[in-house]
Amino acid sequence: MRALLQRVSEAEVSVDGAVVGRCGAGLLVLVCAMQGDTGAEADRLAARVAKLRIFRDTEGRMNRSVVDIGGAALVISQFTLAADTSRGNRPGFSAAAAPEDGRRLYEHFAAALAALGVPVETGRFGADMKVRLVNDGPVTIWIES
């Protein structure tokens, strides 16, 4: 699985003009299941996200996790993180998991992150979503399971 994390002061996602998920201080997590991924990868990725020390401590250093700060996460499925741009100008997405596997692993990841103590809200899998965020820092980090 792949994830793009953005440290945010706030974020929200809407579908058809209605907000379906939001968070305050914490993380916007764009997540993509890849072919061959399993629930074990989703669990590992959730653990890494929950423990990643990218929030400031009292001395201003990135030394605290989203759990440490009592932050939340807005988790959004984004199969385009599987883009292969190595051949030409049109990205290919064949490395992404099939939609039914992608949905299952996306939901598994969100549940695993919540089980680690991070309040989680989500977007809507497969929907045309509009995402608004205030990137704090800015801090944006790419990770894979």
- State how far the Cα of 60 lies from the Cα of 54, in Å rounded to an integer: 11
Q: Does residue 6 carry a catalytic annotation?
A: no
Cis before residue 119, ω within 30 degrees of 0?
Answer: no
Q: Does residue 35 carry a catalytic annotation?
A: no
Q: Does residue 78 carry a catalytic annotation?
A: yes
Active-site residue (options: 6, 35, 38, 78): 78
Active-site residue (options: 6, 35, 55, 79): 79
Active-site residue (options: 6, 55, 58, 80): 80
Tokens found for residue 74: 């807005």
- State how far the Cα of 103 lies from the Cα of 60, in Å rounded to an integer: 38
Mind telling me the catalytic residues?
78-80
